[in-house]
Structure 1
Amino acid sequence: MNRAAESSQVLPGNVLSKRDTGQPPSPGPCWSSSFQPDSPCHIPVTRPLLCAAEQATACQAPQRQVSHLFPGAAMEKSYTSMFLLLIAISSALAKDMGKKETKETTTKPKLPQTLSRGWGDQLVWTQTYEEALFRAKHSNKPLMIIHHLEDCPHSQALKKVFAEHKEIQKLAEKFILLNLVYETTDKNLSPDGQYVPRILFVDPSLTVRADITGRYSNRLYAYEPSDISLLYSNMQKALKLLKTEL
């Protein structure tokens, strides 16, 4: 083989220059004369390589991107502070809720004001006049009937004093209790007229105790808040007379 043929032969790993001089060109700073498959920035020999400085930049760029996506110690410290703050807030809220639940459980529950209408939530009240008469007769207890209206200021004033009077609330447990916001068809419950507030007593023989009255001659069965002591006395009188008649 002649020299021209030898010089035109492409040797593996070398690059021909534009003018075949018979010698491979000297490798420059951005060219490679050999194939390096193990290089982390490997580029085929037919393409120009980056210079040493640019090569270092290309290798480090992904690391800077990772550093940007995942902040360092400062960002981790910020996340830790936020996490601890959330824990502190959650703990404070939990303690506050615990105190409220404890307060609610220790408070004595009140019965629904369905039948009492505020005259004594802890007392047992009957629903109708017929039921009250039946229970009075079969339990041999006197019946106490309170006529009132929700929009009557006198009724509301008497109700407040009646419900807050501990001795009356205790004594009322010995009665069959009924409070009405309407009039019944029994005329015996309005011997001197229909007005409110009006309180009458009925003995177990189903007789209205018209003899147990208040202090007002024009409204015999009316009571004002200042008459609460007289009402308590009349309740005791109803119980005593019941025992005497038996």
Structure 2
Amino acid sequence: IMLHSTLALSLLLIAVSSNLAMAIKKEKRAPQTLSRGWGDEITWVQTYEEGLYQAKKSNKPLMVIHHLEDCQYCQALKKVFAENEEIQEMAQNNFVMLNLMHETTDKNLSPDGQYVPRIMFIDPSLTVRADITGRYSNRLYTYEPQDIPFLIENMKKALRLIQTEL
């Protein structure tokens, strides 16, 4: 009888601990938030209108990332964007951040077409900075994973423009 109850208790412990482990694992997986994988530490605004309001109010530039879930280029860019500490820190501290999976009604956000991925900057005076471009003349606002240093420079440029213009 002693052996039987020890076995039962062991099985019970195994069942409880594996359920607990599964619960902990579930807990660890971050919920799909407004970040959509671009950086969970970043405070993201939900809409373009909210982004414009926050940019004006906080005197920070708004960075708008246009992307789609089924776009492999977007996914590749998202991965390096989310893993780059310098970008994540600047995005969290110095920018109002928005990522969109649909187009806005603001035609200024698609000066050379509605392609993804596309990253645009809007200054606190609510001017779309069409002058802050990536490396490609055929798609001025697109970035590829290897363009991360270029994107960092453009983020710094967006911040410098505010300091020099205001």
Question: TM-score scaled by structure 2?
Answer: 0.88
Query: What is the number of residues matched between the two proteins?
Result: 165
The C-alpha deviation readout for 1:4-37, integer Å capped at 9, x for no partner, is xxxxxxxxxxxxxxxxxxxxxxxxxxxxxxxxxx
Structure 2 residues without counterparts, runs of 5 or longer: none
Report the counterpart of residue 40 of structure 2 in structure 1: 121
Deviation >4 Å, runs of 4+ = 91-94, 107-111
Note closer, same or farther for the CA distance 1:188–1:81 as it changes in structure 2 (3 Å cut).
Answer: closer
Question: Which stretch has the larger CA shift, 114-123 or 225-234?
Answer: 114-123
Q: CA deviation at 1:235?
A: 0.5
Q: How many angstroms apart in 1 are the aligned matches of 2:138 and 2:14?
A: 64
Structure 1 residues without counterparts, runs of 5 or longer: 1-78
| Matched-pair contact (CA < 8 Å) for 1:113–1:121 | no
Q: CA deviation at 1:117?
A: 1.0
| Matched-pair contact (CA < 8 Å) for 1:118–1:163 | yes
More RCO (CA 8 Å, sep 6+): 2
Q: CA deviation at 1:90?
A: 3.8
Report the counterpart of residue 82 of structure 1 in structure 2: 4
Q: CA deviation at 1:245?
A: 0.8
Report the counterpart of residue 223 of structure 1 in structure 2: 143
Paired residues for 1:102-141 under 5 Å: 104=24, 109=28, 111-141=30-60
2:123 matches 1:212: no
- Identity between Structure 1 and Structure 2 (%): 62
| Matched-pair contact (CA < 8 Å) for 1:147–1:180 | yes
Corresponding residue SS for 1:150 = coil
Tell me which structure has the larger Cα radius of gyration: 1
The C-alpha deviation readout for 1:220-240, integer Å capped at 9, x for no partner, is 111011101100111011111
Q: CA deviation at 1:113?
A: 2.1
User: Which letter maps to 2:8?
Assistant: L
* Superposition CA RMSD, Å: 2.4
Which structure: greater helix fraction?
2
Note closer, same or farther for the CA distance 1:214–1:135 as it changes in structure 2 (3 Å cut).
Answer: same
Q: CA deviation at 1:184?
A: 1.1
Report the counterpart of residue 47 of structure 1 in structure 2: none
Match of 1:198 among 118, 134, 146: 118
Q: CA deviation at 1:181?
A: 1.0
